[in-house]
Amino acid sequence: MAGILFLVLLFFTGAYEKYGPTPLPFVVPKGWPQPPTNIFASNPSTREGFLLGKTLFYDGNLSRDSITSCASCHQYFAAFSTFEHSFSHGIENRFTQRNAPGLFNLAWKTSYHWDGGVNHLEVQALGPITDTNEMGETLDNLLLKLRNNPQYPPLFKAAFGDTAITTKRLLKALAQFTGNLVSAGSKYDQVKNGKDSFLPYEQKGYEIYKQYCSSCHSEPLFTNDKFSNNGLGLNKLNDLGRKRITGLSRDSLQFKIPSLRNLKLTPPYMHDGSMGYITQVINYYTVIDSSLPQLDPILKKPIRLSERNKAELLAFLFTLTDTSFTKNKNYAPGEHIIFRH
């Protein structure tokens, strides 16, 4: 009898939860589509898994020089892009070959990287950890470092039930952190939820966006997750984009269509960071040479915008900035997790 009472008490005080990780349900923002696949299908998202993933994400020990963390290229204040750098610094002053994208709303993507070369978030982190231009570390050495760091065995135990530190768990935890980065709190979202309204010139900009940009940068994620070419040719690094992955000539110079969310926080732009300002991007779209062979047919029709239209489009694009995302303590370095859905 006393035993049952104790169990009942334990249940009602919430202490019961101590015996397993606490589920962290993935919540789809109001009005958004369900993600095309469930990236957490074989990796149930929990608070403890997320916290471990976050700790790893901000830890320089993941690299050979023990100072280059994921967050050194994916900066918290810049919606997890590298702010104002075309290419990001890896270990020993090496550079990445592409511009680091912001990390948010990854759960809606069916492939990752500018060329779609990674098809599941859980394996993505293998790339940067072992890439000689990024973190340059071996998995064996990394696991050794984590096992010898008194901080980690308890974190792995809390997330996965015992203290074993394996590559699989490391990758699952990182994917729980990055997969849960959701940015849906911009002015645009407030307007869609009826909590704010566009100023007249933002509204005009929205209409211009719908006319010229939305077929590729589609609402509400501001990308259709497809590959395309917006006129950019071969750069100095001979980056052929998607062709590098598929070998198909029709994929030459095709790049993943990036989201337009949080643009203000993620300069410079394009796969090689070749455009520094949003105004430069807008101007670019109005002068694209329609005879370029690689150009997406949608963009063959010239985009004519007056100076006023350009300013209106810019004002609309600024409504896609989500400062609640860059101030979200759940995603900041440190131990706070205060999820409120």
Interacting residues with ligand HEC (CB under 6 A): 57, 62, 68, 70, 72-74, 88, 90, 96, 98, 100-101, 103, 106, 109, 112-114, 124-125, 128-129, 134-135, 174, 178, 212-213, 215-217, 228-230, 232, 255, 257-258, 260, 263, 266, 269-271, 278, 281-282, 285, 296, 298-299, 303
Retrieve residue 338's tokens. Answer: 């205060």
Residue 10 vs 318, nearer CB to ligand HEC: 318
> CB of 332: closest distance to ligand HEC in angstroms?
16
Q: Minimum CB separation from ligand HEC for residue 14, in Å?
A: 32
Please state, in angstroms and rounded to a whole number, the distance separating the CA atoms of residues 127 and 111: 14
Whose Cβ is closer to ligand HEC: residue 21's or residue 267's? 267
As measured in angstroms, the least distance from the Cβ of 205 to ligand HEC is 10
Nearer CB in complex with ligand HEC: 193/280: 280
Long-range own/partner contacts, residues 194-200 (CB < 8 A, 24 or more apart): 198/316, 198/319, 199/315
Nearest to 222, CA basis, from 249, 201, 192: 192
- Considering beta carbons, is residue 124 or 183 the nearer one to ligand HEC? 124
288, 293, 299, 300: CA torsion to nearest 10: 90
**Shortest Å, Cβ 72 to ligand HEC:** 6
> Among residues 296 and 322, whose Cβ is nearest to ligand HEC?
296
The sign of the torsion formed by the CA atoms of 45, 48, 50, 53 equals negative
**Closer CB to ligand HEC, 129 or 165, in the complex:** 129
Nearer Cβ to ligand HEC, position 10 or 143?
Answer: 143
Q: What would the two tokens of residue 119 be?
A: 């098809």
Query: CB 175 → ligand HEC: shortest distance, Å?
Result: 8
Q: Rounded to the nearest whole angstrom, what is the least distance from the CB of residue 148 to ligand HEC in the complex?
A: 19
Closest separation in Å from C-beta 199 to ligand HEC: 18
Structure tokens at 195: 């909590």
**Do 168 and 143 touch, CB atoms closer than 8 A?**
no
- 109/131 Cα distance (integer angstroms): 22
Q: How far is the CB of 18 from ligand HEC (least distance, A)?
A: 29
Give CB contacts under 8 A, 24+ apart, made by 169-172. Answer: 170/56, 170/125, 170/142, 170/143, 170/146, 171/122, 171/123, 171/125, 171/126, 172/43, 172/49, 172/122
In 3D space, the residue among 191, 227, 224 whose CA is nearest the CA of residue 206 turns out to be 191
Cα distance between residue 120 and residue 163, in whole Å: 25
CA dist 256 and 217 (Å) reads 11
The answer to whether the Cα torsion of 126, 130, 133, 135 is positive or negative is: positive
- Judged by CB, which is closer to ligand HEC: 73, or 146? 73
Token couple for 217: 């940068």
Please, which residue, 7 or 237, has the CB nearer to ligand HEC? 237
* Least distance CB 1 / ligand HEC (angstroms): 51
Residue (of 146, 137, 141) closest to 164 by Cα position = 146
